């Protein structure tokens, strides 16, 4: 079972970086499925929310940015162009947290690097949950741990797919406000797929919606 020991070494350019954040995430001319021509700049520390009806291609857009499926367009992070780096380096930098997380080891800690400071408390998870058995986790616990796992791998940008969908409203608020502060403090650009209007109001610096422009063609439109 590949656990922590199997995880790739951090690529060279990242090692030299004092801080992991501070880069601008630029999408240019991205196209996947019906969604065409997505060009978007996410500033360091900015949270951009993306919403849209189910099946409109929100998740596919995130998968395309993380380079998990064939698509058009180019993405850059700071001065690093995606095509200049091996795909696994890129995914280690621009990390996707899918709506449904997958776990392969027996114990939670097998999937983790060093957890981000205070992150467990903010997510209402005891640090001891690192020793929990995967098969005994609830869906809400899995979802929170998936975000914590991604943070522990110290990405330079995050792509979140409905990260609080399985949490009760109070906990969701607490998690989202902690995440907001964390992204600001570490200057991390974030694209956050959400459907709850109130949540978007609370966390988003800018909000885009996927709309059908003409039959079979969808575009990203900024909402004010």
Q: 207 exposed, middle or buried (CB, 10 Å; 0-12, 13-18, 19+)?
A: buried
Choose the stretch contacting other proteins; rule: CB under 8 A; options: 99-107, 169-177, 196-204, 214-222. Answer: 99-107
Q: Which of 101, 119, 164, 199 binds other proteins (CB under 8 A)?
A: 101
Question: First-to-last CA distance in the chain?
Answer: 47
Q: How far is the CB of 6 from other proteins (least distance, A)?
A: 5
Out of 91, 144, 156, 180, the only residue in the binding site for other proteins (CB under 8 A) is: 91
Q: According to the binding rule CB under 8 A, does residue 102 interact with other proteins?
A: yes
Region of 32-40, 89-97, 121-129, 193-201 interacting with other proteins (CB under 8 A) = 89-97
Q: Segment contacting other proteins (CB under 8 A): 42-50, 93-101, 121-129, 198-206? A: 93-101
Q: Helices H, strands E: what count in the chain?
A: 7, 10
CA distance 163 to 184: 18
From the list 30, 32, 95, 158, which residue makes contact with other proteins (rule: CB under 8 A)?
95
Q: Which is nearer to other proteins, 113 or 171 (CB)?
A: 113
Is the dihedral angle over the CA atoms 41, 47, 49, 50 positive or is it negative? positive
Q: Least distance (Å) from other proteins to the CB of residue 92?
A: 3
Give rounded-to-5 percent helix, strand, coil for the chain: 35, 25, 35
Interaction pattern, residues 159-198, with other proteins; x per rule: CB under 8 A: ----------------------------------------
**Residue 150, interface with other proteins (CB under 8 A)?**
yes
Positions of E strands within 68-216: 72-77, 80-81, 94-97, 157-161, 190-193, 206-214
Contacting range for other proteins; rule: CB under 8 A; set: 3-11, 26-34, 186-194, 198-206 = 3-11
Q: Which helix (H) or strand (E) holds 223?
A: strand 217-223
Residue length of the chain: 224
Shortest CB 97 distance to other proteins, Å: 8
CA distance 23 to 43: 7
The answer to whether 106 contacts other proteins (rule: CB under 8 A) is: no
4 scored as a contact of other proteins (CB under 8 A): no
């Amino acid at each position: 079972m590949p656990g922590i020991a199997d995880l790739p070494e951090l690529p060279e350019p990242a090692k030299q970086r004092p801080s992991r954040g501070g880069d601008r995430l630029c999408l240019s001319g991205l196209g996947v499925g019906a969604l065409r021509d997505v060009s978007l700049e996410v500033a360091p520390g900015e949270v951009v929310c993306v919403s849209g009806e189910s099946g409109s291609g929100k998740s596919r857009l995130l998968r395309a940015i993380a380079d998990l499926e064939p698509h058009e367009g180019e993405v850059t992070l700071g001065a690093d162009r995606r095509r200049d780096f091996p795909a696994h380096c890129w995914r280690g930098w621009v990390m996707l947290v899918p709506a449904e997380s997958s776990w392969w080891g027996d114990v939670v800690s097998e999937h983790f690097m060093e957890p981000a400071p205070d992150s467990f408390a903010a997510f209402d998870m005891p640090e001891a949950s690192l020793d929990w058995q995967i098969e005994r986790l609830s869906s809400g616990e899995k979802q929170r741990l998936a975000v914590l796992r991604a943070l522990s791998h110290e990405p330079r940008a995050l792509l979140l797919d409905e990260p609080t969908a399985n949490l009760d409203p109070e906990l969701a608020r607490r998690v989202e406000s902690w995440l907001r502060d964390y992204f600001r403090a570490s200057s991390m650009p974030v694209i956050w797929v959400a459907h709850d209007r109130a949540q978007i109001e609370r966390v988003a610096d800018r909000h885009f919606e996927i709309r059908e422009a003409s039959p079979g063609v969808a575009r990203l439109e900024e909402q004010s």
